[in-house]
Amino acid sequence: MKIGLFVTNQQYLETDMVSALDDQYAMVRMARDHGWDSLFSGQHYLNEGNNKQLQLVPFLARMQAEAGEMTLGLGILLLNLHNPVYVAETVATLDVICRGNFVFGVGLGYRAVEFDAFRVPKGQRVKRFEECLALVQRLWTEESVTHESDTCILDGVRMNIRPVQKPRPPIWFAANGDQAVRRAARLGDTWFINPHATTGTNKRQIAIYREELQKHGKPFPKELPIAKEVFCAKDRPTAIEMAGPYLLGKYKDYSKWGQAEAMPGDESLDQPLESLLEDRFVLGSPEECFEQLRPNWEQLGVNHLIIRTHWAGMPLSHALSSMRLISTELLPALRKV
Amino acid sequence: MKIGLVVNSQHHLEKDLVQALQEQYALVRLARDGGWNTVITNMHYLNEGENRHLQIIPLTARLQAEVGEMTLGLGILLINLHNPVYVAETVATLDVICRGNFIFGVGLGYRDVEFDAFRVPRGQRVRRFEECLALVKRLWTEDSVTYESEVCKLDGVRMNIRPVQRPYPPIWIAANHDNAVRRAARLGDTWYVNPHATLQTNRRQLDLYREERARLGLPFPMELPCRREIFCGKDRATALELAGPYISEKYRLYAQWGQDKAMPSGESLSLPFEELLRDRFILGSPEECYEQLRPYWEELGVNHFIFRTHFLGMPVSSAISSMRLISEELLPELRKL
């Protein structure tokens, strides 16, 4: 089992961003020094409510200097907001900065404020996403690309800047809805399972994912990553007390921002912590966390666990205490899986 | 007098980019340890010919880990290729990463292949540039922005991520053409004087710049930065031998890519090297370089030199030798000014 750190990179408005960035360097260095395998972060534009967030591309590029041998990954880049030439050259540059130790995570996004700001018309989100991904892959591999669409005109262009990894970095697909899970099977190298769904939903969707892979004659991926909300403390009440308010705050925002609209059927994220917790978040002593995580490898086949243990507003000391317990007690047990 | 270094992120196709990046880190650390003030990066998409460019945003972010107390700057970002929300959040993030020690350099661009790839129609380049810059400033300073254009739609949005510097980082505008120089006077905090023009042209255009500032009731900027192509050797013959072929190739590329289309009428970069040299490039012993630079502070009032001394294809050892001489012999003299 590989273990990764998901850096939330979201702060309250009153937080000083320079010191928050120093805090996040400290978290990344702790992960590096304790042998964690990977580092991921996500992307939003125009954060609403009591939140602000650094932009993913410069944030991740700067983190590379702290990450040692850890694999870095975009988790995820909102592909359809961006021009394909921008995406291809920027991601290739990140792969160079990371010396080829890099994951290209992509997703569709769900917020109207972002689509409007980047003028992605309703009804074009999926089309733009698929076209962008296809064009990026052509630009990385072909000697002469000609293309004309609403977003890009190319006339026999050769893109000279290419990723270090040949033909390209692994493409991880975030997907919440059943349709998106099928798209992940069709277009991606693996499905980057989201932290919002219950294990029950994940189980149902992994069956859909397998089915769709078979339909396209693709093998099941060697690597199956999942992001999970995890907080380790001496016992479950302490974990809930330390993490609960911040984790609940994050899910209230997801709900307000419309994340649930991207989820299957009538699943909602607007629930009290107790019911959100169930089958979804991993909170407790290292032993309890291990048992709560067990279905992920036993029933889903997950072999890369990407842990988020810091949310907007949480003091750094809380996050570091959880990371320390994960590093010293949970990680050695997970390594045996 | 302040001294800055231009990072060369343009490399030949056969050059290994991971190694090239390590070499750039080494040059940046040499500047840091030699007491230079500034590091400036630059950008292109879709390089033509046998060369390629790392993308400016991830590169600049990553370089921050090497610069120590030096100021880092974009020199320049082609803003009309990008969405204003992207520009505002990305540049604010860089300002946070740089702890507020950061310069926002912008320019119009001149290459059709870039404008086509990003679907910037002919006749809209200047308008998009001006609209983007104006909207970015609004997003950084206002509490509710409503806006609609063909590139961006915002409905009462507050951008929560803002630069550390208030109200925003210094805006340097690159300008070659007379109209662009007037635009720089009107919209920027200073004119980032380009290295392509001869001293006479710089002199004539600086009068235009002064005139335009006066007409608008704006003071002459406290900082006047000027980029120069420079190479320090033990004597002029050595400098010419070590740097000549690379500067010459770079200017052939400029001519092929159409840089001179952006220059005042009649000026061309398709000249024999000896002619191109004259009154334009700074080559020689530290003393000779000092004398060649003299008119820039005496006649133009330049107080921040941004030196490019490493060019596409040049062995890094040559660049290091030039930087050593600049640090040890030229910089102490320039400091007395």
Rounded Cα gap, residues B124 and B113, in angstroms? 15
Q: Which of B80, B149, B86, B175 is nearest to B121 (CA)?
A: B80
At residue A126, the pLDDT reads: 96
Q: Are B2 and B305 in contact (CB under 8 A)?
A: yes
Burial class (CB in 10 A: 0-12, 13-18, 19+), A186: middle
E strand or H helix that includes residue B52: strand B51-53
B49/chain A closest Cα distance in angstroms:
9
Superfamily of domain covering B2-335: Luciferase-like domain (3.20.20.30)
Task: Report the percent of chain B where pLDDT is more than 70.
Answer: 100
Q: In this structure, what token pair is assigned to residue A86? A: 């921008």
- Residue of chain A nearest B64, judged by CA positions: A62
Task: For B224-243, write each residue's pLDDT tens digit.
Answer: 999 999 999 999 999 999 99
Q: How confident is the model at residue B312 (pLDDT cuts 50, 70, 90)?
A: very high
At residue B261, the pLDDT reads: 82
pTM: 0.97
At residue B260, the pLDDT reads: 83
What is this model's ipTM?
Answer: 0.97
B174 three-class SS: strand
Looking at every residue in chain B, the average pLDDT score rounds to 96
Other Cβ atoms closer than 10 A to A33: 10
Go through the domains of chain A in sequence order and give each one's CATH number: 2-75+170-335 (3.20.20.30)
The number of C-alpha atoms within 13 Å of A336 and in the hemisphere containing its C-beta is 6
Task: For A247-268, write each residue's pLDDT tens digit.
Answer: 999 888 888 888 888 888 777 8
Among the partner residues B83, B160, B164, nearest to A118 by beta-carbon distance: B83
At residue A271, the pLDDT reads: 82
Q: Token match 């961003």: residue?
A: A17
Judge whether residue B184 has pLDDT over 90: yes
Q: What is the CA angle A173-A170-A84, rounded to 5?
A: 70
At residue A84, the pLDDT reads: 98
Q: How confident is the model at residue B264 (pLDDT cuts 50, 70, 90)?
A: confident
At residue B244, the pLDDT reads: 94
Q: Are B3 and B331 in contact (CB under 8 A)?
A: yes
At residue A276, the pLDDT reads: 83
Q: Which residues of chain B have a CB within 8 Å of the CB of A46?
A: 85, 89, 157, 159-160
Q: Say which residue, B289 or A275, is predicted with more confidence.
A: B289
Rounded Cα gap, residues A217 and A133, in angstroms? 20
Task: For A47-95, write each residue's pLDDT tens digit.
Answer: 999 999 999 999 999 999 999 999 999 999 999 999 999 999 999 999 9
**CB spacing of B117 vs A66 below 8 angstroms:** no
Q: Which residues of chain B have a CB within 8 Å of the CB of A160?
A: 13, 46-47, 51-52
Judge whether residue A325 has pLDDT over 90: yes
Judge whether residue A43 has pLDDT over 80: yes
- Residue of chain A nearest B47, judged by CA positions: A160
Q: In this structure, what token pair is assigned to residue B316? A: 């890094």
Name A315's Cβ contacts closer than 8 Å, sequence gap at least 6. none
At residue A268, the pLDDT reads: 82
**CB spacing of B58 vs A93 below 8 angstroms:** yes
Judge whether residue B275 has pLDDT over 90: no
Q: Which of A55, A85, A113 to mutate to test the interface with B (most CBs of B within 10 A)?
A: A55
Task: Report the percent of chain A where pLDDT is more than 90.
Answer: 90
Judge whether residue B266 has pLDDT over 90: no
In chain B, the largest separation of any two C-alpha atoms, in whole Å, equals 62
* Cis status of the peptide bond prior to B76, with omega within 30 of 0: yes
Q: Are B206 and B194 in contact (CB under 8 A)?
A: no
Handedness of CA A113, A114, A120, A125 (dihedral sign): negative
At residue A259, the pLDDT reads: 83
What would the mean pLDDT of B86-91 be, rounded to a whole number? 98
Q: Are A206 and A319 in contact (CB under 8 A)?
A: no
What would the mean pLDDT of A139-144 be, rounded to a whole number? 98
Asked if the C-beta of B238 comes within 8 angstroms of chain A's C-beta atoms, the answer is no
**CB spacing of B152 vs A53 below 8 angstroms:** no
At residue B259, the pLDDT reads: 84
Task: For A208-228, write each residue's pLDDT tens digit.
Answer: 999 999 999 999 999 999 999
What would the mean pLDDT of A132-161 be, rounded to a whole number? 98
Query: Structural domain boundaries of chain B?
Result: 2-335
B116/chain A closest Cα distance in angstroms:
5
A222: left (phi over 0), alpha (psi -120 to 50) or beta: alpha
Rounded Cα gap, residues A166 and A148, in angstroms? 26
Pinpoint the alpha helices (H) of B5-77: 17-33, 56-63
Pinpoint the alpha helices (H) of B196-309: 199-215, 236-257, 273-277, 286-295
Judge whether residue B194 has pLDDT over 80: yes
Q: How far is CA B43 from the centre of its chain?
A: 9
Looking at every residue in chain A, the average pLDDT score rounds to 96
Range with the largest mean pLDDT of A277-286, B184-193, B245-254: B184-193
**CB spacing of B90 vs A58 below 8 angstroms:** yes
Between β-strands B102-107 and B171-175, what pairing exists: parallel, antiparallel or unpaired? Answer: parallel
- Residue of chain A nearest B53, judged by CA positions: A161
Between β-strands B304-308 and B282-284, what pairing exists: parallel, antiparallel or unpaired? Answer: unpaired
Judge whether residue A184 has pLDDT over 90: yes
Q: Are A146 and A155 in contact (CB under 8 A)?
A: yes
A249 three-class SS: helix
Task: For A83-94, write each residue's pLDDT tens digit.
Answer: 999 999 999 999
Rounded Cα gap, residues A243 and B203, in angstroms? 63
